[in-house]
Amino acid sequence: MAKFALACEGITDQIVIENILCGFYKDYDDLDEEIQPLQPPYDVTTQKQKEGEFGGWEMLLEYLSEKRFRDDVLNSEYVIIQIDTDISEHINFGVFQKDLSVEELISKIIERLILQIDSKVVFYNSNQEKIIFAISVHSLECWLLPIYKANKTEKITGCFEALQRESKKIKVVKEYASYEKLSKAFLKQKELMKIVSKSSSLQIFINKLPKKI
């Protein structure tokens, strides 16, 4: 049984979440070996999505409504669901952002994801202790950006492009190896907690993690 299983938009999100977990639980030896990517399926050999499998937020939503997700929750200690909020106003998602604070937006996104989980079978309430939401506002790159640039105010838009400008030694491309390098600072708990204090949506995710595993 996996300690943590990951259901994310893409494999780049999976490795960032994995590094966050390994840094947060710094005293848990070999935690990386107990973290399992579920969606999208990941091929360790090629460091790419498994051939014939697909990622993206729409595939994540489809997965959350499937029996496969329910089985994965039952066969894991915790399942982390990650999604960016930049897609929330898409017609197939339907969460409008106007006048919402970061906290309110995250709550609305979680409500929408729970509706998706329960769209075919009522499942969430009886298993909610095992399900943790990692909602990145408005993209996961906004969690990475403070590693490379100290902004006076929190930046939540245009973070991918900003990360490309600010990361001088690591090329920022949507590939597993790139994001593994970009997020290595998260492996050090002290550095992780510094970054957490600069990102409200990352802070909300960290606060939802169990203190002991």
Domain around 184? 2-208
Can you say whether the dihedral through the CA atoms of 24, 180, 134, 154 is positive or negative?
positive
Short-list 32, 44, 28, 24, CA closest to 4: 32
Which phi and psi angles does 124 have, rounded to 5°?
A: -60, -50
Residue-wise pLDDT for 85-132, tens only, equals: 999 999 999 999 999 999 999 999 999 999 999 999 999 999 999 999
> What's the total number of domains in the chain?
1
In a domain, 213, yes or no: no
- Per the CB < 8 A criterion, the answer to whether 3 and 78 are in contact is yes
Tally the residues of the chain. Answer: 213
With tokens 């907690």, the residue in question is 193
Encoded tokens for 107: 């709550």
47: left (phi over 0), alpha (psi -120 to 50) or beta: left
| Per-residue model confidence (pLDDT) at position 44 | 64
In a domain, 32, yes or no: yes
| Per-residue model confidence (pLDDT) at position 41 | 82
Task: Using only the alpha carbons of the chain, give its radius of gyration.
Answer: 16
Q: What is the value of pTM for the model shown?
A: 0.95
